[in-house]
Amino acid sequence: MNAVCRMVVVATLSAFAAGQADGGDADAGPPTTTIHVAINGNDAWSGRLAAANADRSDGPLATPAAARDAIRRMTGPDRAGGVEVVLHAGRYELREPLRLEAADGGTAERPVVWRAHGIDRVVLTGARRIAAFAAVADEAVLARLPAEARGNVVQADLHAAGIADAGTFAGAGNRLEVFCRDRPLEIARWPNDGFTTIGDLLGDRPMVDGGLPGNSVGTFTCATDRLPAWQGEPDGWLSGYFFWDWSDSRQRIKKVDPEVGSIELEPPHTTYRSGQRFYAFNMLCELDRPGEWCIDRERGLLSIWLPAGADAVTVTTLPSLVVIDAASHVTLRGLLLEGSRDSLVKIAGGEGVTVGGCRLRNAGGWGVFIQGGRGHQVAGCDIHEVGEGGVMLDGGDRPTLAAAGHVASNNHVHHYARLQRTYRPAVEVKGVGNRVTHNHIHHAPHNGILLNGNDHTIELNRIHHVCQETGDVGAFYMGRDWTMRGTVIRHNVFEDLAGPGRLGAMGVYLDDCASGITVVGNLFVRACREVLIGGGRDNLVENNVFVDGDPAVEVDARGLGWFAVTVVPGGWMRQRLDEMPWKTPLWTNRYPGLATLLDDQPEAPRRNVIRRNVSVGGTWKRIEPAAEVGVVLEDNLVDVDPRFVDAARSDYRLRDDSPAWAIGFERIPLEQVGLVADDWRKAIPEE
């Protein structure tokens, strides 16, 4: 970069630099060292713009990687006051993930902060811009396209654009996607919306699972006239719920037989059931509307019907944008992170890493994936259009019940699980002692919050319009382990849930003998089966408001019936029990119900308490007769006008004259639920 450009860059940044970079109050300890990065900077410069140290102020760096390397070269005095990397406005197209390791971190008092300059829009992306499109010249390709697409579809050679790896459609970690105007484009599919269904199952290996017949052959009929066109497609795929409404997968088509009307899938096979849902994708013959694309992965050839007025798209190339491995006290603040094939931000080990006030979107995997370490947080972020879940919080040691203290707070997570539709929630929690609070979660096919482990806190979250595409699903879900105890679910709102698949949706789903959970002070509104205790014990459902539940509370005794094979000696519930030191004083003191578990008919639901709840409209309870002996029902206000402030306007606070106060009901802080304005989030977005 020439001297004139350098002078322009320095002049542009000087107002910010004066009084901030390498400055500070002498009484506040060593000053913070500031490094600047700008699109029109130069990685040969120092990034230092300190007015007090003009001899070192030669201009900003051009890339985040250069800023990291500059930090690594710093001497002790430069690191003593912490480091701040200020990224100025622009789109930083990364050629490799920004990797931060132990040496790149700070301390609790002097962290290393990567942040946007003021209110500048700073974009870190792992997607590459593609604008070199050409008309389709190959007659064989034109013949495969629908008639309406032939004059509209154009092609780009990804190999010529430097993108050698065309990714995969199955599995995680390398999902190539195409975006235009900051939105993911739809891969060519049939039907264009919704699903078709499996017809007859062909082949041997019949099976019955959960009382439902199916097989594992991977060949079945489908009532469609599209099969002749599919014969010429080299890389067609199906995506579907092939057996269960809570389990989706993607499988490649091996062969179609139009005469028989059948589809044969490549192994490995899953299980299949007649009537289940799927759609076909990545076939040129189904590229029939603007915004759709198809890829020949072997040749690296992208075919696309560009949206009206668009002349370019971006294609994801990097697995992740930021990888923080064993680094501590690092903060990412105010950045827009987008365009990865896997998770946008990965954090492993370390302590005190924060992703705050960022926007994360357009990823093939998760927004933020945290594994191990202590005290990490994702706060005040907007996360949407991700292929899998929003935030993974995995930390803590279950055998010792040592808490990790990870937090997901004040995040707006919506329109997630685009590619892997099930068990990819807005927030997944694993381990011990993590917290999910003040989040707004909505519009997703499956779970809102998925939980494993012990002693977590789920509070003050607003969850609605999830479970929209699946069945036998919970907005909050956990289960299948007696030892996962101590979690508190309090002061949340679960509203407008729908599960179109078999067995529908639940608000709080304590599945398959989940035990030792407290559900207190929540509001459920039109949340289908609002709390389901699936054969567990030692659960408390207290001080909740249920509106139009179907039912409000359900308890079954599955351990005495179809689930019994898992809870007897040798069953996997017993195996999971023995994986934990549940007989030690640490565990029995923390969870008294475990101490006598095997002496008290473990397959039966016991000591479930349902008290001081308010239920209006819908159905109050559905308790299986075999479970009734293990349920305590007391002081519940059922089908009596609770005197809401204004139910017609969704104000479900209780008036001062509510009869609920007479049963000892305690006020639920509904005004605190959901997003709040704070240091990370300056304004609350409209829905």
Q: What is the DSSP string of 478-546?
A: EES-TT----EEES-EEES----STT-EEEEEEETT--S-EEES-EEES-SEEEEEES--S-EEES-EE
Q: How many CB atoms lie within 10 A of CB 205?
A: 12
pLDDT band at 57 (very low <50, low <70, confident <90, very high): low
Average pLDDT, the chain: 93
DSSP string for residues in 296-325: ETTTTEEEEEPPTT---EEEE--S-SEEEE
**At a CB cut-off of 8 Å and minimum separation 6, what does 393 contact?**
370, 376, 378, 404, 406, 407, 408, 427, 428, 429, 430, 431, 434, 436
Architecture of domain 90-126+318-460+675-687: 3 Solenoid (2.160)
pLDDT band at 52 (very low <50, low <70, confident <90, very high): very low
For the chain, what percent of residues have pLDDT higher than 70?
95
| CA-based nearest residue to 455, from 590, 593, 287 | 590
Q: pLDDT value at position 433? A: 98
Please give the single-letter amino acid code of residue 524.
F
Q: DSSP characters for 319-349?
A: S-SEEEES--SEEEES-EEEEESS-SEEEES
Place of tokens 């020949």: 296
| pLDDT for the residue 599 | 92
Matching residue, tokens 């599960």: 499
d(CA 177, CA 168): 10
pLDDT at 80: 85
Tokens standing for 400?
């010792």
pLDDT in tens, 475-528: 999 999 999 999 999 999 999 998 888 889 999 999 999 999 999 999 999 999
Least confident interval from 11-15, 268-272, 345-349, 410-414: 11-15
**Mean pLDDT over residues 213-221, rounded?**
96
Q: Is the pLDDT of residue 12 over 60?
A: no
Q: Read off the amino acid at residue 47.
A: G
pLDDT at residue 28, as a whole number: 59
Cα–Cα distance measured from residue 369 to residue 489, given in angstroms and rounded to the nearest whole number: 22
pLDDT for position 19: 35
- The CA distance from 433 to 455, in Å, is 5
The span from the CA of 47 to the CA of 34, in Å, is 8
Q: What is the pLDDT of residues 329-381, one digit of tens each?
A: 999 999 999 999 999 999 999 999 999 999 999 999 999 999 999 999 999 99
Is residue 50 pLDDT above 70, yes or no?
Answer: no
d(CA 549, CA 506): 10
Write down the pLDDT at residue 27.
52
554 forms bridges with which residues in the sheet?
Answer: 532, 622
How would residue 30 be classed by pLDDT, with cut points 50, 70 and 90?
confident
